[in-house]
Structure 1
Amino acid sequence: MLIPIFKIMCLAEYNFDFTSVLFVFVHLCRYVHSPTYGQAQRAFEAAQAIHDLNGVASVLMYHPYHLDSLITMSDYFKFVAEHQMAADAVAKCLYALECAWNPMFTPLQGNCQLKFSHETNKPLFKALFTHMINMDRRGCHRSALEVCKLLLSLDSEDPMGALFCIDYFAVRAGEYSWLEQFSEDYKSDNSLWLFPNFSYSLSICRFYLEREQTSQDAHKDNTKATSADLMKQALMLHPSVLKKLVAKVPLKDQAWTKILAHSYFHSDETKIPSLDHLINIYVERSYIIWRLPDLQKLLRDTAKLVIETLEHNRSEAKDWACVREEAFSSEKNEYAHLLVQDFSDAVSSLPPDNLQNFVVDARMGEAMHNAIHAGNPHDVGQAPPPRDVANRNPLAVLFESMLPWVNYGDGGDGIAADEDYQINGHFQENQED
């Protein structure tokens, strides 16, 4: 039996449509646009259709919490290295999304899901993923881990690939025992240890847990595989990871030259599209962990042990190859929707996909740049503006100036900066930390 769908008017410009599916004990939810928000969405799509980034910024002048516009501007600010502005846009986006939550939507209890297949739900996933990466860049690894958990719980199909970075955040946050327990409890078509990120990260977790254990604790856990055993298993299952790590970290010890010369570690590809893609994501996301000397020693010693094992029993290589082919049997890349650069800390020199087709007249940016530096006669004797525009990207300043929460200092011109930015008169802007 299904409880009928009912709409609840929310504080933001859009509301929540809530459906409760009793027989599976999971509440399936989705965002529903109000008529006012629908107008903003159509304006955004019109600007997007003619590749007008200026039009996207204009939408925010009248609809400060329009989600797709905020996400687009966040991507743009990140591209021009305005990271604080990018983070501010995502924070505004998340605030608006949370204000629209139904009181019965309790995602932290694990009984609510939003399917990514609903177009109106996608901004929440995109904003959470971007916020998670921002938290990691700021060194807030535990916060990033919690956001990653939330992403994974919202849709069991994991559309954003949270499963392929949750191990990295757990290791960086020191949550070694939690990751081991998670890998045992998580329900999946494949055992998590078959994925390259988990196969290596579980070895790292066991390595640090062995360090923390007392001799008595170690005796109690003697039934568990050691870090060396887990690392050997990872190298046998995914040998192509080694060559990529050596190049990415980079590892310059002469011992690696000899190790990579062995036929088992000589290639950096498996010729299995899905697996190669996941390996690229793992190396891009987690290579920094392998800069620690202790982990390098574990990796190097275990690689030598693998070579010795193969010299005595060459059939093991074929056995592990069969495991790989069975676990990743698809002939196409099942994870092509996950972009490697989205898991990277590096800022791309090329604009992201949702920006590369936008065309902005450079003369507009130059005009805005000149106008800003021309000054305002009413500003004489006033305090310096809150935001400095000197030596900054002119286009970034242009679009930043169009965002309603940005204040360059209005002085005494009689136009007071509105710090509330109320939407429909219902809620006020959340104060940042």
Structure 2
Amino acid sequence: MGKTGWVTSRLPRSLFIALFRHILNVGQKGCYRTALELCKLLLNLSPDDDPLAVSLMMDFYALRAQEYSWLVMLYDTYEPTKNLSMLPNFSFSVPLALYHLSNGSGQTSSRDKRESSKAAALAEELGNPETMRERADAMLQRALITFPGLLLPLLDKCSIQPDPVVASHAFYGPKAQTNQSKGLSQLVNLYVGRCFHVWKEAGVMHWLEDNVKKTLTEVDKNNPLVKEGEEMRKVRYQGTPMAIYRHILMSEIRTATAALPPALANNPVMSYDPLPPPDTTCGYTRPKSTIQQPTESSNILTTFFRSLLPNYNPDDDVNHARGLRGRWWLKAARKSSVSVAFIYSEEFTSEAPRRSMWGDTICCSHVTPTDGFLDGKNMPVR
């Protein structure tokens, strides 16, 4: 499935969408570890394409479930091939996880001894607390330099008044938000709207403030990383993949949905199948019936009551209507003193005599199909 992209059949897409909505539901109930495991399952169904961009919320559930070591190891494993540092959520969440590990958090969050020993082994691979704290500071400063337009929206969402020096600085000021592309703005708004809770914890905001001041010093020194981040923002994030649009629509985060383009924000989107691919195939469409519906009926009310019976068959309506039409033709023929009624059918030929549905012999040498009673006229006699 990973090789074919967002599947064109609605049935597999329904499985993806159902899992995604289940993740949101269990996450809202505080079952963050369950939501994280479901994220792993959903990502494993299509790891190469990630049609619902589940990687944009795995870091959030890992932080809420206090799976800090797992999040850091995930980043270290896939960063060389997936460039996870280009996503704002991983750029900010991974240093936050390292910060908690350096403080000794998350070591007792496992449910049993086996999980606890596994988490301890992962923490040992990351180094001692001092090493993890240094790495957390370096990664956070790199994230602030790469995505300067995220700081002020994050502080505003956390109801924190920024320092006047930071708010008035050209690097973090309003120009940082207006200069970034629409695609990057959507990623920033999505992360801020979902993860601002984890930045309001005790001690985290002071740690963020210290690193912001250090980045301002590097910016004033014209650090090459500042120029590199600016060039990267100009080249990347040009256009938003459809997977991110689906993720934003299904997550229903106001700050993210408000930044959607008008073509998506103003048009109705089906919640059960948001933004299907152009070549989608629907397996639920009922094929058209080949049974010819009756054009005439003796009584509409009678037909309705007969349809309520358990042995009702639509074919009976067709035969019933044909029988009524044939009786009417025969009655018209008898009133005109003609002893033979002509019932036209596809099996009629002019070489051999036929019998009508009532057993009357039809002489084909005297009657032709075009002389019949299709319009209710009397049969001509030759």
TM-score calculated relative to the size of structure 1: 0.50
Q: 2:58 aligns with which of 166, 169, 187?
A: 166
> How far, CA to CA, are the matches of 2:238 and 2:253 in structure 1?
30
- The alignment covers a number of residue pairs equal to 242
Q: Which portions of structure 1, spanning 4 or more consecutive aligned residues, are displaced by more than 4 angstroms?
A: 112-115, 216-225, 344-352
Give the 3-state SS of the residue equivalent to 2:171 in structure 1: coil
* AA at the equivalent of 2:9: H
* 1:116–1:150 Cα change, 3 Å: farther
- Contact 2:103–2:129, Cα closer than 8 Å, also in 1: no
Q: 2:246 aligns with which of 335, 338, 350?
A: 338
Q: 1:318 aligns with which of 202, 227, 244?
A: 227
> How far, CA to CA, are the matches of 2:61 and 2:179 in structure 1?
26
* 1:355–1:203 Cα change, 3 Å: closer
- Residue 198 of structure 2 is aligned to residue 282 of structure 1: no
Gaps of at least 5 residues in structure 1 are 1-27, 30-111, 357-433
> How far, CA to CA, are the matches of 2:144 and 2:51 in structure 1?
28
* Structure 2 residue aligned with 1:199: 91
Deviation sequence 1:196-250 (CA, Å, 0-9, x none): 0000001101001101189x96865766652211110110111111011122222
* 1:299–1:223 Cα change, 3 Å: closer
Give the 3-state SS of the residue equivalent to 2:250 in structure 1: helix
* 1:310–1:150 Cα change, 3 Å: same
- Contact 1:270–1:276, Cα closer than 8 Å, also in 2: no
* Structure 2 residue aligned with 1:127: 18
Superposition deviation, residue 289 in structure 1: 1.2
- Residue 269 of structure 2 is aligned to residue 353 of structure 1: yes
* Structure 2 residue aligned with 1:116: 7
> How far, CA to CA, are the matches of 1:341 and 1:260 in structure 2?
31
Give the 3-state SS of the residue equivalent to 2:240 in structure 1: coil
* AA at the equivalent of 1:159: P
* AA at the equivalent of 1:261: S
Q: 1:306 aligns with which of 215, 219, 238?
A: 215
Equivalences for residues 389-400 of structure 1 within 5 A: none
* 1:201–1:355 Cα change, 3 Å: closer
Superposition deviation, residue 273 in structure 1: 2.9
Superposition deviation, residue 285 in structure 1: 1.3
> How far, CA to CA, are the matches of 1:179 and 1:281 in structure 2?
19
* Structure 2 residue aligned with 1:239: 148
Deviation sequence 1:158-212 (CA, Å, 0-9, x none): 1111000000000000000001111122378541122100000011010011011
Gaps of at least 5 residues in structure 2 are 108-122, 259-264, 273-382
* Structure 2 residue aligned with 1:296: 205
Q: Which protein shows a greater Rg?
A: 2
> How far, CA to CA, are the matches of 2:25 and 2:69 in structure 1?
25
Superposition deviation, residue 315 in structure 1: 4.5
User: Which structure: greater strand fraction?
Assistant: 1
Give the 3-state SS of the residue equivalent to 1:207 in structure 2: helix
- Residue 147 of structure 2 is aligned to residue 256 of structure 1: no
* AA at the equivalent of 2:160: L
> How far, CA to CA, are the matches of 2:194 and 2:43 in structure 1?
17
> How far, CA to CA, are the matches of 1:290 and 1:220 in structure 2?
23
- Contact 2:79–2:85, Cα closer than 8 Å, also in 1: no
Give the 3-state SS of the residue equivalent to 1:126 in structure 2: helix
Once the two structures are overlaid, the 10-residue window that deviates more, 298-307 or 275-284, is 275-284
RMSD across aligned positions (CA) = 3.4
* AA at the equivalent of 2:222: N
> How far, CA to CA, are the matches of 2:38 and 2:80 in structure 1?
20
> How far, CA to CA, are the matches of 2:245 and 2:80 in structure 1?
19
* Structure 2 residue aligned with 1:142: 33
- Residue 70 of structure 2 is aligned to residue 178 of structure 1: yes
Give the 3-state SS of the residue equivalent to 2:209 in structure 1: helix
- Contact 1:248–1:283, Cα closer than 8 Å, also in 2: yes
> How far, CA to CA, are the matches of 2:154 and 2:30 in structure 1?
22
* 1:129–1:279 Cα change, 3 Å: same
> How far, CA to CA, are the matches of 1:240 and 1:248 in structure 2?
13
Give the 3-state SS of the residue equivalent to 1:306 in structure 2: helix
- Contact 2:180–2:233, Cα closer than 8 Å, also in 1: no
Once the two structures are overlaid, the 10-residue window that deviates more, 314-323 or 288-297, is 314-323
* 1:320–1:345 Cα change, 3 Å: closer
- Contact 2:91–2:139, Cα closer than 8 Å, also in 1: yes
* 1:124–1:239 Cα change, 3 Å: same
